Amino acid sequence: MTFLMSLHSNPVLRKTNLAVWRACWRSWKSRLHSSTVCTSSGPGPLNGPEEVSPVSHENAPHNPVMLREVLQYLDIQHGQVVLDMTFGGGGHTKAILNLVPEVTVLALDRDPTAISLAEQLAKEHTGRVKPLLGRFSKLEALLSEMNMKPGSVDAVLLDAGCSSMQMDQADRGFSLSKDGPLDMRMDGERYPDMPCAADVVNTLDQQALASILTAYGEERHAWKIASAIVEARRVNPITRTQQLASVVAGSLPAAVVYARKDRLHRPAHVATKTFQALRILVNDELNELHAGLCAARAALRPGGRLCVITFHSLEDRLVKRFLQGEDLSNLDQYHFSPRKGGKGKMLDEKRDGGSLYWRPLRRKVITPEREDVKDNPRGRSAKLRAALRC
């Protein structure tokens, strides 16, 4: 394949620096057709909703994370405009509609299946729900099309990461526990030529795969896993989720496989970080998250409130540093590893060291209560940051 030959022939592109691999992947992913490994249902419209998998609104598999805390810190009032930037199964939006009279919710999601649920909810609450199909990076344009001016939104909720609905649908390729095609595209089939996770694991070489697993999965055994992936695909292409999970598990000693625990001290699958890394790369999640935070800042009025829920340390560090006013304009050269002290380059710092745009509603990060985690184990790693727009 031309893409792979280019990687091997150019010594610059073979550097382990993640920025190089990200730039390389971006430049080629528009040319790398999903037909190389992923099966597509055929070309569809690039804009607007299309036919999607049927998911009933009543049985939408979504238990909203940290709902009580979100409602507390957003403090939504009668008649306000709320932007739910990750509608998903609609759990947060439904709670807001039921709690606050005459509120209007702008329901954004990049997943057409989620937007179909938002459209059903809009029929039940006439004039109170406005579905918006698109990524975070398209939000400002979508709001402009609605004649929404900057600074006209009262509250914003951003619930980052993969939704429960996506995890529960095996054919989306996000789940470790359910076998399905190794896809992981949050946009579904909106962009048929967009590379999927199978394209990544069957195309990039060991060095590139190890860099991705280290940077986006914070995987200590990245090199061993990358080596096992390369060896396995020489026999057969890796096209299924449980196929990849088995390759990862088989690459590590039993002591590592059985030692991993989640925050409830339950056994955790050894491939979890690998799946996270591939999902982040395929969906450009960190750049999209930064774009979403910038769009939220522009949309909120002074005094408006922002709540952001994250599920892993890369997301949380990005959100924390954004709210502190750090310059994150070049994420490819920005490393989200923990710092021992000090701040990075400041973009909007006040004289007293705070941000010009944000005032934290609570200085420390907010985590779920123990009882909430028992009721909703998927929210065990959630972190909530809340801020007031200055």
The radius of gyration computed from the CA coordinates of the chain, to the nearest angstrom, equals 21
**pTM passes above 0.85:** no
The number of CA neighbours under 13 Å toward the Cβ of 6 is: 11
What does the pLDDT average to over 291-318? 96
Query: b/e for 126-164, b at 16 or more Cβ within 10 A?
Result: eebbbbbbbbbbbbbebbeeeebeeeebbbbbbbbbbbb
Give the dihedral sign, CA 166/268/368/321. negative
Q: What is the pLDDT of residue 374?
A: 80
pLDDT in tens, 222-247: 999 999 999 999 999 999 999 999 99
Q: What is the pLDDT of residue 255?
A: 67
pLDDT of residue 361 exceeding 50: yes
Q: What is the pLDDT of residue 167?
A: 84
Residues across the chain: 390
What does the pLDDT average to over 5-9? 38
Whether the Cβ atoms of residue 16 and residue 211 lie closer than 8 Å to each other: yes
Q: What is the pLDDT of residue 163?
A: 83
pLDDT of residue 46 exceeding 90: no
Query: b/e for 39-78, b at 16 or more Cβ within 10 A?
Result: ebeeebeeeebeebeebebeebbbebbbbebbbebbebee
Whether the Cβ atoms of residue 175 and residue 168 lie closer than 8 Å to each other: yes
The CA-CA-CA angle for residues 300, 123, 135, to 5°, reads: 40
- Edge to edge, the sheet with strand 358-360 lists 129-133, 104-109, 81-84, 153-159, 300-310, 383-389, 358-360
pLDDT of residue 327 exceeding 70: yes
Mean pLDDT of the chain, nearest integer? 83
Q: How far, in Å, CA of 286 to CA of 63, rounded?
A: 24
Q: Fill in the amino acid letter for 234.
A: R
pLDDT top residue among 165 and 160: 160
% the chain with pLDDT above 70: 75
- 3-class SS string, the chain: CHHHHHHHHCCHHHCCCHHHHHHHHHHHHCCCCHHHCCCCCCCCCCCCCCCCCCCCCCCCCCCCCCHHHHHHHHCCCCCCEEEECCCCCCHHHHHHHHHCCCCEEEEEECCHHHHHHHHHHHHHCCCCEEEEECCHHHHHHHHHHCCCCCCCEEEEEEECCCCHHHHHCHHHCCCCCCCCECCCCCCCCCCCCCCCHHHHHHHCCHHHHHHHHHHHHCCCCHHHHHHHHHHHHHHCCCCEHHHHHHHHHHCCCHHHHCCCECCCCCECCCCHHHHHHHHHHHHCHHHHHHHHHHHHHHHEEEEEEEEEEECCHHHHHHHHHHHCCECCCCHHHCCCCCCCCCCCCECCECCCCCECCEEECCCCCECCCHHHHHHCHHHCCCEEEEEEEC
What does the pLDDT average to over 305-326? 95
Residue 200, Cα to own-chain centre: how many angstroms?
A: 18
* Token pair for 105: 């919710």
Res. 38 pLDDT band, cuts 50 70 90: low
pLDDT in tens, 75-126: 999 999 999 999 999 999 999 999 998 999 999 999 999 999 999 999 999 9
**Which domains are delineated in the chain?**
67-159+285-330+356-389 (3.40.50.150), 174-283 (1.10.150.170)
Res. 61 pLDDT band, cuts 50 70 90: very low
Whether the Cβ atoms of residue 83 and residue 157 lie closer than 8 Å to each other: yes
